[in-house]
């Protein structure tokens, strides 16, 4: 009603500047006073505004808190990686646009590295897309291949962006949890498995894709050949795509092997494999990632990319290409950073696990990645007087930050609505931290039991 009368008022106005000004002023006043602003968020982002990181990365800004929360290395990237970027700064043309789908020297380097790993020819121009972090690859893949009416299987716990990205594409996330096969007494990430029958039941004619994350964040599970085969069999049977998030592919610990699901028979043509410079070289702030797969899938990701940000930064891509060449040339050598980083992290992993056990906590030792989940229920910290609506792990982390000056991430942030109860006794620690950070964590953990509450 009010709208109609306002329009009527407007139609009568001439285009005389002074009257226009008066009109604008009166509309402004009436608009701000009583007119509801009709410009709300679009449907695609309804309910997607909140995010676990908003709260918990603010914490990181406080230097008095030992931050083992967000997956942010505080170790230095290898010096040659930093040097390559410094060299690039001096080259004029590298400050201007490069090829949209990926800087030529970078896609060439990626194709060489991954040809070696996968044992198959990879065309740098058609089988690869360079994106703004693996995050950007996930987004490009999902926007390219997923839409309303589709279902996407997500394994819980999951890196939290999968769910909102699937929803933003208009599709329905279908969750399946990893379950601890040892009656809740888990010592290793390998104890967490999918139930094959349960998994099979999640597939139907609407299942467009399954998102696989191996090595897994947050648990650190490295899926075995057999486990991957179960997933592959279902993908082939139901003609389902596989979005394989392998950002931690190089961070695999002794005795374990990272296997690419795309290398299993029948899987290359239906899999998009995602990698990350940030995780490979401890340069999360470079925000470079890549999607690798068959041309008939990658071409659609390229269309999304050309309509979203068009090209990624040139200097960083060039520096990354040079770093990859250095490591490509020594892929047979134990000094290759692809292997040396995981050796460095293994000792940090073991130290972290030891400290946690001594404090009375139950860590789940990860086979890969740089996160460790910990069962905190053993401490019996009573938080029942705190807001009941919040999951236990959220309350525990906030309490731990406030009283112990140590931060972590609550695991229920990585679960769908049905599973939150299952995981709310776990929190996630990040151990890609320099010795002094781990030393500070050690002090807190050793003193844990000395303080009350």
Partner 1 sequence: PHLKASNSLSHSLQAKMSRPVQARRLEGIDKNIWVEFVKLAATYSKVNLGQGFPDFPAPDFLTEAFSRALSGGNHMLHQYTRAFGHPPLVKVLAQFFEKLLGRDLDPMTNVMVTVGAYQALFCCFQALVDEGDEVIIIEPFFDCYEPMVKMAGGTPVFVPLRPNPPKDGKLMSSADWQLDPAELASKFSERTKAIVLNSPNNPLGKVFSREELGLIAELCVKHDVLCISDEVYEWLVYDGKQHIRMASLQGMWDRTVIIGSAGKTFSATGWKVGWVVGPDRLLKHVRTVHQNSVYHCATIAQEAVAQGFQRELMLYGKPESYFVQLPKELQQKRDWLVRSLDGVGMKPIIPEGTYFLVADISQFKSDVPDVPNSDEPYDHRFAKWMVKNKGLAAIPLSAFYSEAHKNNYTNFIRFCFAKEEATLKAANDILQKWKQEKTSS
| Binding to partner 1 in span 51-110, by CB under 8 A | 51, 53, 57, 70, 72-74, 76-77, 82, 85-86, 89-90, 92-100
Closer residue to partner 1 (CB): 86 or 402: 86
| Residue 258 · residue 273 · CB < 8 Å | no
Which is nearest to 263 in space by CA: 230, 241, 232? Answer: 232
* Footprint (CB under 8 A) of partner 1, residues 334-393: none
Strands in 36-191 per DSSP E? 66-67, 128-131, 151-156, 172-177, 179-180
Q: Which of 69, 124, 136, 368 binds partner 1 (CB under 8 A)?
A: 136
Q: Which is nearer to partner 1, 28 or 357 (CB)?
A: 28
Please report how close the Cβ of residue 108 comes to partner 1 at its closest, in angstroms. 15
For residues 151 and 171, the answer to whether their CB atoms sit within 8 Å is yes
What CA dihedral angle connects 231, 234, 239 and 240, to 10 degrees? Answer: -40
Nearer to partner 1, 178 or 283 (CB): 283
Please give the residues from 267 up to 306 whose contact with partner 1 meets the rule CB under 8 A.
282-288, 296-297, 300, 303-304, 306
Which stretches of 32-159 are assigned E, i.e. beta strand?
66-67, 128-131, 151-156
Decide if residue 447 touches partner 1 (CB under 8 A): no
**What is the Cα–Cα distance from 357 to 355, expressed in whole angstroms?**
5
From 38-46, 360-368, 393-401, 435-443, span contacting partner 1 (CB under 8 A): 38-46
- Tell me the number of residues near partner 1 by CB under 8 A: 92
**Which residues, in sequence order, are CB contacts of 373 under 8 Å at separation 6+?**
218, 219, 220, 363, 364, 366, 411, 426, 427, 428, 429
- Residue 48's alpha-carbon distances to 160, 213, 309, in angstroms, are 11, 22, 21
Q: How far is the CB of 230 from partner 1 (least distance, A)?
A: 18
Closer of 311 and 346 to partner 1 (Cβ): 311
CB nearer to partner 1: give 164 or 196: 164
Q: Give least dist CB 314 to partner 1, A.
A: 3
Of 169-198, binders to partner 1 (CB under 8 A) are: 169
Give which of 409, 369, 317 is closest to 73, Cα–Cα: 369
CB 30 within 8 A of CB 9: no
The SS3 of residue 218 is: coil
The CA-based angle 56-370-375, given to 5 degrees, is 65
Nearer to partner 1, 88 or 361 (CB): 88
Among 2, 10, 182, 360, binds partner 1 (CB under 8 A): 10
Tell me the window of 20-28, 193-201, 214-222, 249-257 that interacts with partner 1 (CB under 8 A): 20-28
Of residues 397 through 426, those in contact with partner 1 by CB under 8 A are none
Determine, following the binding rule CB under 8 A, whether residue 310 of this chain makes contact with partner 1.
yes
The dihedral built from the CA positions of residue 450, 74, 396 and 367, taken in this order, carries a sign that is negative
Contact 289, 247 (CB under 8 A): yes
Q: How far is the CB of 382 from partner 1 (least distance, A)?
A: 34
Under DSSP, the state recorded for 361 is: -
Binds partner 1 by CB under 8 A, chosen from 185, 201, 307, 403:
307
Q: Which of residues 197-226 bind partner 1 (CB under 8 A)?
A: 204-205
Looking at the Cβ atoms of 40 and 450, the one nearer to partner 1 is 40
Closest CB 426 distance from partner 1, rounded Å: 23
Q: Does 326 bind partner 1 (CB under 8 A)?
A: no
| Least Cβ distance, residue 276 to partner 1 (angstroms) | 12
Of 110, 117, 161, 194, which lies in the binding site for partner 1, with binding defined by CB under 8 A?
Answer: 161
């Amino acid at each position: 009603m009010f709208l109609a009368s306002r329009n009527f008022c407007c139609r009568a106005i001439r285009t005389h500047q002074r009257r226009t000004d008066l009109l604008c002023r009166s509309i402004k006043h009436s608009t701000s006073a009583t007119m509801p602003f009709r410009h709300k968020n679009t449907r695609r982002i309804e309910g997607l505004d909140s995010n676990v990181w908003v709260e918990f990365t603010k914490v990181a800004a406080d230097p008095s808190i030992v931050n083992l929360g967000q997956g942010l290395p505080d170790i230095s990237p290898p010096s040659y990686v930093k040097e390559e970027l410094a060299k690039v700064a001096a080259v004029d043309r590298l400050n201007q646009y490069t090829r949209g789908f990926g800087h030529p020297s970078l896609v060439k380097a990626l194709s060489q590295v991954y040809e070696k790993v996968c044992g198959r020819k990879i065309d740098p121009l058609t089988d690869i897309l360079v994106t703004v972090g693996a995050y950007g690859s996930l987004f490009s893949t999902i926007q390219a291949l997923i839409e309303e009416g589709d279902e996407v299987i997500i394994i819980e716990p999951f890196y939290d962006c999968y769910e909102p990205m699937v929803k933003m594409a208009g599709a329905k996330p279908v969750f399946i949890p990893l379950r601890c096969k040892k009656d809740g007494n888990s010592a290793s990430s390998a104890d967490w498995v999918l139930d094959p029958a349960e998994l099979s039941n999640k597939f139907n004619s609407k299942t467009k894709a399954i998102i696989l994350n191996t090595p897994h964040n947050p648990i650190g599970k490295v899926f075995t050949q057999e486990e991957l085969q179960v997933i592959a069999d279902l993908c082939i049977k139901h003609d389902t795509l596989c979005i394989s998030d392998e950002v931690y592919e190089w961070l695999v610990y002794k005795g374990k092997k990272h296997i690419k699901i795309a290398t299993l028979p029948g899987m290359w043509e239906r899999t998009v494999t995602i990698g990350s410079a940030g995780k490979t070289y401890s340069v999360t702030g470079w925000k470079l990632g890549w999607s690798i797969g068959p041309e008939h899938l990658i071409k659609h990701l390229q269309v999304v990319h050309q309509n979203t940000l068009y090209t990624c930064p040139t200097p960083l891509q060039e520096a990354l290409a040079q770093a990859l060449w250095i490591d490509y040339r020594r892929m047979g050598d134990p000094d290759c950073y692809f292997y040396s980083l995981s050796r460095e992290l293994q000792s940090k992993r073991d130290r972290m696990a030891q400290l946690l056990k001594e404090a009375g906590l139950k860590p789940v030792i990860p086979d890969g990645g740089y996160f460790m989940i910990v069962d905190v229920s053993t401490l019996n910290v009573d938080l029942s007087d705190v807001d009941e609506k919040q999951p236990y792990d959220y309350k525990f982390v906030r309490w731990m930050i406030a009283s112990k000056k140590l931060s972590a991430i609550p695991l229920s942030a990585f679960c769908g609505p049905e599973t939150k109860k299952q995981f709310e006794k776990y929190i996630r620690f990040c151990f890609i931290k320099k010795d002094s950070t781990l030393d500070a964590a050690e002090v807190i953990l050793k003193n844990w039991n000395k303080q009350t509450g």
